[in-house]
Amino acid sequence: MPLADRDEELVQRGRNGDASARRTLVERHVDTVYRVAYRLTRTRSEAEDIAQDVLARMLDYREGWLSPISFRVWIRRAVLNRVIDASRSRQRWSIMRPLDDGLDVADGQPDAEAAAETNQQASAVANAVRALPARQKMVIVLCHYENLSLADAAAAMKTSVGAVEQLLQRAKAALRVELRALEP
Amino acid sequence: MTTHTERESEITTAKPLNDALDLWRTPETPAWLATRARARMADATGDVIGFFRRPLFAISLAASLMLGSAVGWVAPLPPVMSSEEIEFTW
């Protein structure tokens, strides 16, 4: 890949006001960001909000990409961080919910939009992955669905390779139990 | 003792589970997402020139100037009193 087309180079050009570099960056990563956000959240709308936030801040000097971490790892880490923030604010909100009798928010449940997985087997897999503890779910998304190496997944999660290995083994063990009926 | 790479390959060759996981596909990315993200990116990176070029900004600036002028003509502020003009009544 030519140097000018590398993500890190595009970020620098985008920060200097190059609109075409910004466009390329967004178009190159919008699918990845949305995909990761969707797998880690419960609704399409939440995934869309998170994806927009992450993409909009790619060039930010404070919150955006900075070397030495590679851009492909950084962008996934940014989604994870944003998902964690959203989850925390949802938890805070759910603590307050009993006081709000008038509000009918289906918090913590997949909404109607998430029923895009019409296929029953796909739904079973989605539910099994989403039911995993947060860090196991992240490891499955990064290592299986995003094909990141253990080292890159560890960098994205700011943890050690050994910890990612353990999380992956536990997640796969839990999923094997949950998805026994689906395996050939 | 196995290395990280060997263990990694052990983990990733569990085919049946991987096949099952692959059944879950994500929906297509909404087409508007990239456009909206680019617009927000311009704001987040402080695209000052782009901001001043926006039609909405130009219209609101022109409206503010016109309104300001009109208010100035209709209701001019009272002149500031000098210290000699202040009378004490006690």
Note the ipTM here.
0.71
**pLDDT on residue A108:** 45
- Between these two residues, A39 and A105, which has the higher pLDDT value? A39
Give every CB contact of residue A38 below 8 A, 6+ residues apart in sequence.
A44, A47, B26, B27
Angle (CA) B41 B45 B50, round 5°: 80
State how far the Cα of A139 lies from the Cα of A134, in Å rounded to an integer: 9
Residue from the list A14, A39, A48 with its beta carbon closest to the beta carbon of B30: A48
Confidence of residue A9 (pLDDT cuts 50, 70, 90): confident
Domain ranges within chain B, ordered by starting residue? 31-64
Contact A73/A105 with Cβ under 8 angstroms?
no
Give every CB contact of residue A58 below 8 A, 6+ residues apart in sequence.
A11, A14, A25, A26, A29, A64, A65, A75, A78, B41
Model confidence pLDDT, tens digit, residues A117-176: 457 888 889 999 999 999 999 999 999 999 999 999 999 999 999 999 999 999 999 999
All CATH 1.10.1740.10 domain ranges of chain A, comma separated, are: 1-108
Residue A135: CB atoms within 10 A of its CB come to 18
- Closest-CA residue of B relative to A15 is B45
CA distance to partner chain A, nearest, from residue B11 (Å)? 7
Read off the tokens for B43. Answer: 């704001």
All CATH 1.10.10.10 domain ranges of chain A, comma separated, are: 117-184
CATH architecture of A1-108: Orthogonal Bundle (1.10)
CATH of A117-184, one of 1.10.10.10, 1.25.40.80, 1.10.150.120, 1.10.260.30: 1.10.10.10
Contacts of B49 in chain A (CB under 8 A): 17
- Between these two residues, B12 and A121, which has the higher pLDDT value? A121
> What letter represents residue A100's amino acid?
D
* Residues in A 99-128 with any Cβ partner in B closer than 8 A: 116-117, 119, 121-122, 125-126
- Between these two residues, B88 and A17, which has the higher pLDDT value? A17
pLDDT score of B20 more than 70: yes
